[in-house]
Amino acid sequence: MLLFLHRPFVALANSLGASPDERKLNLFFLTLTASTMSLIPPLSVKLVSSFLLSYPFAALLKRIPDSRPDAKNIFIISVSLFYLVGLFDLWDGTRTLLISAGGTYCIAKFLRASPYMPWIGFAFVMGHMSVNHIHRQIADDPSSVDVTGAQMVLLMKLSAFCWNVADGQLPDDQLSDSQKRNRLKELPPLLDYAGWVLFFPALFAGPSFDYTDYRQWLDTTMFDVSNVDPAKKPPVRKKRKIPRSGGPAAWKAVSGLVLIGLFMGFSGSYYPSMLTADSFVEYGLLRRIWSLYMVSFTARLKYYGVWYLTEGSCILAGLGYNGVDPVTGKISWNRLQNIDPWAVETAQNPRGYLGGWNINTNNWLRNYVYLRVTPRGKKPGFRASLMTFGTSALWHGFYPGYYLSFVLASFIQTAAKHFRRHVRPFFLDPVTGNPTPKKKYYDFATYLATQLTFTFVTAPFLVLSLKGSLLAWSRVYFYAIVWTALSLIFFHSPGKLALKKQLEKRQGRASAKLVRSLSTDSLTGKEPILGISKDPEGDINEAVEEIRAEVEARQKKLRADFEAHQPKVNGMNGMNGTNGTNGTKAHTE
């Protein structure tokens, strides 16, 4: 650690009531990159400062000549090492990241021809990170500092890298469009690989991105606009191909700082430990629910702010570029968007809520777990959902609170699916499917239910321990579990049939199909969000059917083998019987 850099942070931290390193940095790193909302002590002064330092560093990075990708890589690696060692004294953490990255590169290089290479790479990085998760959890030492969270971000990148290398060995007809775009037919040079692994704007908190994105940014092919009218091409400076991005980057930075300021303002009144404090029971039920909501909301503000800051520095470097509208000439800078606060805070169903949270993690789970478990030519089913759920759970860590939240969220998604299919159509025109005047009341009710339900669901992510999570839930009388259970019971009772009959009658024909709206946050998608199954009942039924089919297939094979063996046995018995009879006759004579 560079002491001359450390001392100013000590003074600033003392004035803010925080430690310079915030010696719960390991917990901050862990929860910062996960799809969680756990609250920590005051924000690490150094960590936030490193996010802000990334802006001038990103501006310098963009000014390195496009013809010198090697210089860009060296600059990126140098800044990241400055953060890891110069600011945080994370020698062991640096070694951890290098082991994960180096081991993955070797696996991809020497096992490239094996169809199991991506799974071996995945097992390596997940096992390595799990050991660190367990070590950190057992130690439970707030004074220690590690990079488990940075390792979580790196795991997404490295496991995707293995799949992209494997895709590079396959013919086009076996790949989807996105797989063709991201495949790697050759391993990248080590310097390029190291620059991608240690890309400083996204080092500690993400966002994660594929190597192909980095390569296209590095060689500037990302910024080709041959299909855009020259008059509408984005402005650039001199010979630089990266468009000007100072405006959108500044907007992200200002928004992030405002959100972090709000977090610091609310965190003194709303913090996770209040949910398990003895004084919490002195509040009335409504105030307890309100406090639970505010604790969750306050924690979310922290993530909104931090992810905005990191995305902004990526935009300033040019990596957030996502194309130009050929009609308007407007540039999109959302390639690395990791959070949509508006979608989360205004969500009217679980899929909309979860879909706006930790977007890159959800994309990784979908593209590199859910769709990869499924054999080619088949649709994803129970095994894909189970593998995705398990991966998401292990990726977060081993605190019991994570698993309580995941399991409950799965059942909540099932209940929400039933409401959307059997209640929502009553508020739509039966012919056109357009909203009726009463639809606004349904929307408000579902908004309120969604926000209150996920306020309850995420409490264990804040408390972490099993005892504390159950205590926090009990103090609001398990309200989300109660109404979820009642909803599921109702939709498995004659009440569901009554609703269907009313809908059929309403549409004027007995065999009418239910009207469903087409929306971006529809519940009709099969893939899980953040590893949470949207239909655990269907997954369980599918698993039972798979087991039954497997048992029947084995029984059929055993019967066939037995029947094929029977003639041989009968033949042998016949021969033995004849010989035995003749022998008896001979003896008698």
Residues sharing a CB contact under 8 Å with residue 442, sequence separation 6 or more, in sequence order: 423, 424, 426, 427
Q: Which of 21, 22, 146, 167 is catalytic?
A: 167
Q: Which of 128, 133, 192, 396 is catalytic?
A: 396
Q: Where are the alpha helices (DSSP H) in 350-478?
A: 350-355, 359-365, 371-373, 382-396, 400-422, 439-457, 459-463, 466-474
Of 536, 534, 400, nearest to 461 (Cα)?
400
Residues sharing a CB contact under 8 Å with residue 449, sequence separation 6 or more, in sequence order: 483
Alpha-carbon gap, residue 211 to 195, rounded angstroms: 10
Is 211 within 8 Å of 38 (Cβ atoms)?
no
- Work out the end-to-end distance of the chain between its first and last CA atoms, rounded to an integer number of angstroms: 107
3-state helix/strand/coil string of 195-217: HHHCCHHHCCCCCCCCHHHHHHH
CB-based burial label for 164 (10 Å; 0-12, 13-18, 19+): buried
Is 396 a catalytic site residue?
yes
3-state secondary structure of 236: coil
Is 415 within 8 Å of 491 (Cβ atoms)?
yes
Is 224 a catalytic site residue?
no
Is 311 a catalytic site residue?
yes
Residues sharing a CB contact under 8 Å with residue 229, sequence separation 6 or more, in sequence order: 326, 329
**Which residue carries 């590893």 as its tokens?**
531
Q: Which of 192, 311, 535, 539 is catalytic?
A: 311
Which positions are annotated as active-site residues? Answer: 167, 311, 396
